[in-house]
Structure 1
Amino acid sequence: MAAPVAGSRIAPRRVPGLISLVVLVVIALVTLLGPWLAPYDPGAQNAALGAVGPGADHLLGTDNLGRDVFSRLLAGARTALIGPIFIAAGTTALGTTLGLLAGFRRGWLDAIMMRLTDLMFALPGLLILIVVVGIAGGSYVTAVVALIVLGAPVDIRVIRSLALSQRELAYVDAARTMGLSDRRIMFRHVLPNLAPTVTSNLLLSFVFALIALSGLSFLGIGLPAGTPDWGLMIQENRTILDLNPWAAVAPVLLITITAVAATILGDKVFERLSAGKELTA
């Protein structure tokens, strides 16, 4: 009998991460191809049909305006997820850069960054977000920019803490002895050691942005009425739960599945990248 091939089985602890990765890949493909995969025009109305449950013609039924729910889910993935992706990228880039500079350089820059982050933490973020976006006329772009600014302080504090510990290690002193500039040391040597945390923060920022933007859409802020969007679909269809609950439940499930998958993947990526490294917060 042939001996089993070593490593041919997937370790149980890796299964949640792999499942989460597959889920996010599928969701990413839906985001890219959704408008072409939709069986109906997401905006096409059929007032005579109204809200009906799932059937042969409409997989998840229709909403109160007779629009196909499945088609709107597919098209709404782009609106629901592109914004959070930009927010996560912007928050991580801003927070990592400022946190690294504050923790490594110290001095007046560190003092200013810490006072600003203390101020941001002291303010009611959700209330500020609603007020700012409301004053700006409910602009989606304004909501994205505001969430980047509100989310950055968390990353700044985390990265600063790690940079403080890294700057005291022997490899930094060795790099300085070799005449390397602080900029080169920070971005070529220190930053790669922070990759596990930066990557994890990126995915967690995406989850935060997804929930925040969906919440704004539910409140009717950020997107015009009728736009295919998961958060807006919940708001529009909450009154027809007795006629077609899937019109509101399906977007809730998609938001939840996406957020859970991104959170689990963030944890697994951190564990994988930090294996063999010792990061002291």
Structure 2
Amino acid sequence: MTTPSETGDLKARGAGTTRFRLPWIALILLAVPVATALVGPWTAGDPSAQQDALPSQPPGGGHVLGTDVLGRDVLALVLHGGASVLGSALGALLIGMAAGVPLGLLAAGPRRGIDETVMRTLDLVLAFPGLLVLMTLAAAGHRDWYWLVTVAGLLHVPAVARLVRGAALAPGARTVVEALRMQGHGWAYIHLRHLARELAAPMATDAAGRFTVVLYLLASANFLGLGLPASSPDWAVLIERNSDALFTQPAAVLVPAGLLTALCVGSNLLVDRALARRRRQP
């Protein structure tokens, strides 16, 4: 029978083991799809040139993962499709951050009128559902990759600006900021140099978590046929195109779906780890 102190030691060791293993699990889950997206296009052949096989064939006959509904090699498609997934998600995230951070800092300034104008304008953007905007964009004929990425990034500007504004209000009211204003330093120096250091940690955590949200929006748009063309090797497009052949050729659906899931879960686990580490800090 264990004593209370021994029970506490066991719990502490178990918690320590969990804290030790969790980053490795997250890194493995994240490394597999990222490595596939970065290295895959260099190691795989051209999937469009491999259409001599029958459609929706199971693995075998020279095709490790079988063929898709168009008779293309699934392995080559998967190796090529991660680049668009990772590139579009990172591009949309950078657009949202590049526009949202300056607007949030501007709203957190001392002028109340600017704060109200910026935030109420962003509230109008926040009221539009993301998929509805992308559906309207597709109906207007704007299905190019850069349109999808740009609009997806702009849809996240209000959320990023709200976070930056909330995080910058308290540091912006400190005595050191007032002293910098009295010394004649301008808005750019105070906000982009001084306050930016205060916002680095929360913004990095939010960016890691927001990456999953952006990825979900883009994958949903591609799955619904609102983004990339049907011939694209993008993982979400592969899932949508081969969903009818799930039971006859499951690899064409489960492999890209597993890579998307690993990318999302790995990112979320790393964000949770970062948040837990911040909470443990005194």
Task: Please classify the TM superposition score into its range, dividing by the shorter chain length.
Answer: 0.7 to 0.9
Provide the aligned length of Structure 1 versus Structure 2: 267
Query: Structure 1: 5+ residue runs without aligned partners?
Result: 1-9
Q: Distance in 2 between matches of 1:274 and 1:170?
A: 26
Change (3 A) 1:52 1:70: same
1:88 partnered with 2:93: yes
1:237 counterpart residue number = 242
Q: What are the residue-to-residue correspondences of 1:1-281 with 2, within 5 Å?
A: 12-38=18-44, 40-46=45-51, 48-55=53-60, 57-272=62-277, 276=281
CA contact (8 A) 2:55 2:67 kept: yes
The AA in structure 1 aligned to 2:225 is G
Consecutive aligned runs of 4 or more in structure 1 exceeding 6 Å deviation:
none
The AA in structure 2 aligned to 1:144 is V
Q: Distance in 2 between matches of 1:177 and 1:92?
A: 30
Which piece of structure 1 moves more, 259-268 or 54-63?
54-63
Identity %: 34
Q: What is the TM-score when the length of structure 1 is the normalising length? A: 0.85
* SS of equivalent residue, structure 2 residue 56: coil
Q: Distance in 1 between matches of 2:103 and 2:23?
A: 30
Change (3 A) 1:105 1:27: farther
The AA in structure 2 aligned to 1:30 is T
Change (3 A) 1:48 1:175: closer
Whichever structure has more helix as a proportion of its residues is 2
Change (3 A) 1:251 1:169: same
CA RMSD after TM alignment: 2.3
Change (3 A) 1:123 1:51: closer
Q: Distance in 2 between matches of 1:140 and 1:242?
A: 31
- Post-superposition CA distance 1:63-110 (Å, at most 9, x none): 122211111111000111101111111111211111011112432221
Q: Distance in 2 between matches of 1:86 and 1:242?
A: 35
Query: Structure 2: 5+ residue runs without aligned partners?
Result: 1-15
